[in-house]
Structure 1
């Protein structure tokens, strides 16, 4: 038997979305279903509730055969330190990493003291291939190699994957075990709506990972490259069963559907809504989708079925900035106004994703997009344009951390190659001033926010159990 620890190392998150954390628990569930599986533990040390002493205790006492480290766009500032702790306190353990960043920029992780990197396919498949390979070959043999979607280190060299990573059918997914998720920590992140995180403040969220993959193909989105252009979606029955079971075990107050384009399959959404209306499972819920995949009748049905928030990728209303968007993402003001009217009539909060710095857009145009959406009552969730395709494997941790949808990725990093302290990077040499355009962009993300959501008032509170 192989004992496995799945861990998110300590770091200060730049952003929090509980849906992005669900893979940690889905990979754990998948490994537990393996024939002859050993102990599989999870640890979210990235929710600001654990210190390095606690991590050290876990590593030293756990004696895990494999430690699978989850990564994300900017959750890498503690990776080198974690690897050092693991090598010192659990020297017999093999280290493998998986996550969004290693799927987009796998070469970056080869600078760390790791044994393997999942770089394509579903995370569950990559980690399971490696764990199974070790179990079959034995810990003292040469490292397993030729695995689908997994690069393996051998000495100072890396052995490339044996082919692209595998993908699971929805019925093979292991949904997160709600008994092991630190919801009290999640609640703290969502409590301040001025941070513009996806969750609803003052109410506990159950994430339901309903679908993977998306055919829309936005070039600034990681979903198609990681999970494919073809959508894979759970059955309505499976969704209902998971919600019913989870609500029976914990005091959840609303459901967050984690799906790239929730209303891509309108027939599926109608069936789900009808089931919610019929009961007995009738939660309040939210989702994210595109404006193109919504209609007046569907929005009205969603409202009757308990939907309290719809998030859409508005991105920009500037014509000059829409040329790089897929055709069905090029939205005119009147179309957005119509959607806002539908949502208002259905009692649904409209949440608009706006991209700051999108090629072809201006600061003034972004301001007009934001103000127009707000004039219709929409909540705004801004992010910085992030060209993931520009990342390279030889980047430093500071450079990679710029690709976090909050910082401008193209600006030089102070103290690194290309910065001579002369102000060429947009500062006066000591970092005390920024270029006016950059400062104006940052104002959208980090300026004071006084328009806070009230959607939690539509969601009844549960008595804690």
Structure 2
């Protein structure tokens, strides 16, 4: 069986290669352990002409696409072309969008199978092994639960890692955690790894991480540990940092966490093990707004943790969300003023109504309009009374906004 993995094109290249390294290349690695005839087409980082794409389509028995909310339109177009070219080929979609709107995708004639949770490789292998054909739209939706998460290694694939390295400014990214023990309403992780019989929070074994660091330290300038809350399990973090120091495989690295999962001992140990930046999921400094989105932390705790990071010499970055449900212009401007006074790097990101989108799909309502809003040709432009479009764009792009 000849398999073609495709990362569809989007309107512009993302600043992070996170999903290329992790969702895409790591999944390819796990599938390739059983199926050897695998080709890779990453249209998001490399321009291909029509003949090159069509040639790969003609040679593929199975087309597997990583589908995200911002590339659904392009993904459906590619599958429609593939279906026109082959009568026996089958399509499989996986990724965030597949988990968010499985019912919508299952109704599309160009889609044969929808992987509806974050156990990508296990579900893809299940489809490939079974060889069955779906009879109804519901048959297309595949949910596989696993007791133990398996971890892929992008280094062992034929994905275009040289391009990921180039566009990612020399940073290597790999998954060290999946799932999340928290319940923030704006996050997709609980949809990818819902509570059930399978594992909902897992961490890559420490020795696997050490092995990866030894392989990449000579080729990459830095590392991003992809984690939902890197410091949630402090004993795992301590073990990892101590092993990095013992094995002398220190590479500048960064990750993400919450302000209520840090202490002085952990910060000092991580810094000694090569931590160069820790991104904090702050979202907003408004206690009422944090409570509404199930982010159970307070402004006092946020300020306390930021000051602790400064005292220990750990570089931090504040991750903020613009357009949270009910967010007012006063709340936005107060948060902006506070983060500027703290003199730390920060980044505003648009709120994405993924939970609302998923609930609507569960009810089998039409989600076409909502999906169109995720297109990267436009911005979601969440309406905040008192914040002009110009101000909104200046917040999102403080250095690159041109009137």
Give the TM-score normalised by the residue count of structure 2: 0.87
Query: CA separation of 1:243/1:181 partners in 2, compared to 1, >3 Å: closer, same or farther?
Result: farther
Measure, in 2, the Cα distance between the counterparts of 1:327 and 1:435: 23
Unaligned runs of 5+ residues in structure 1 are 135-142, 145-151, 191-202, 412-433, 452-465
Structure 2 counterpart SS, 1:313: strand
Distance 2:323 2:151 in 1: 36
Change (3 A) 1:323 1:272: same
Which of 280, 286, 289 is the matching residue for 2:248? Answer: 280
CA-CA distance at 1:286 after TM superposition: 0.2
- Alignment partner of 1:331 out of 276, 279, 298: 298
Per the alignment, residue 253 of structure 1 pairs with 221
Equivalence map 1:127-206=2 (5 Å): 127-134=124-131, 143-144=132-133, 152=134, 154=135, 157-160=136-139, 164-167=143-146, 169-170=148-149, 172-177=150-155, 180-187=158-165, 189-190=167-168, 203-206=169-172
Alpha-carbon offset, residue 27 of structure 1: 2.1
Partners of 1:348 and 1:254 in 2: CA distance: 16
Aligned to 2:8: 9
Alignment of 1:93-104 (within 5 A): 93-104=89-100
Mapped pair 1:84 → 2:80? yes
Structure 2: how far apart are the matches of 1:180 and 1:445?
39
Q: Which residue of 2 aligns with 1:300?
A: 268
User: What RMSD over aligned residues (CA atoms) do the two structures have, in Å?
Assistant: 2.8
Q: Encode CA deviations 1:46-70: one digit per residue, 9 max, x unaligned.
A: 125334443223223xx22111111
In the aligned structure 1, how far is the partner of 2:235 from the partner of 2:82? 48
Report the more deviating stretch, 343-352 or 435-444: 435-444
Alignment of 1:239-388 (within 5 A): 239-247=209-217, 251-326=219-294, 328=296, 330-332=297-299, 334-388=300-354
Q: Residue 454 of structure 1 corresponds to which residue in structure 2?
A: none
Distance across 2 between alignment mates of 1:302 and 1:258: 15
Partner residue of 1:213 out of 179, 200, 205? 179
For residue 120 of structure 1, report the CA deviation from its aligned partner.
Answer: 2.8
Residues in 2 aligned to 1:258 and 1:101: alpha-carbon distance in whole angstroms: 19
Q: How many residues align?
A: 389
Deviation at 1:366, TM superposition (A): 1.3
**Cα deviation 1:120-177 (Å, max 9, x = unaligned):** 351112211111111xxxxxxxx43xxxxxxx3x3xx42436874223624x322222
Per-residue deviation, 1:317: 1.0
Deviations 1:233-254 (A, max 9, x none): 1111111012212335xx1111
Contact 1:77 1:397 in 2 (8 A): no
- Cα distance, 1:26 vs structure 2: 2.2
Any runs of at least 4 consecutive aligned residues in structure 1 with deviations exceeding 6 A, and if so which? none
- Tell me what 2:188 maps to: 222
- Larger Cα Rg: Structure 1 or Structure 2? 1
* Preserved contact between residue 99 and residue 115 of structure 2 (Cα < 8 Å): yes
Match of 2:115 in 1: 118
* Distance verdict in 2 for CA 1:450–1:243, change over 3 Å: same
CA distance in 1, matches of 2:141, 2:282: 40
Q: Pick closer, same or farther for the CA change 1:349–1:282 going to 2, 3 Å.
A: same
Distance 2:256 2:177 in 1: 11
Query: For structure 2, which runs of at least 5 residues remain unmatched after alignment?
Result: none
Q: Tell me: CA distance 1:80–1:187, structure 2 relative to 1, closer, same or farther (3 Å).
A: same
| Alpha-carbon distance change, 186 to 345 in structure 1, aligned in 2, over 3 angstroms | farther
Q: Say if 2:229 and 2:258, in contact at 8 Å, map to a contact too.
A: yes
**RCO higher in structure (CA 8 A, sep ≥6):** 2
Q: Distance in 1 between matches of 2:90 and 2:381?
A: 33
2:252–2:274 contact (8 Å) kept in structure 1: yes
1:106 equivalent among 98, 102, 120: 102
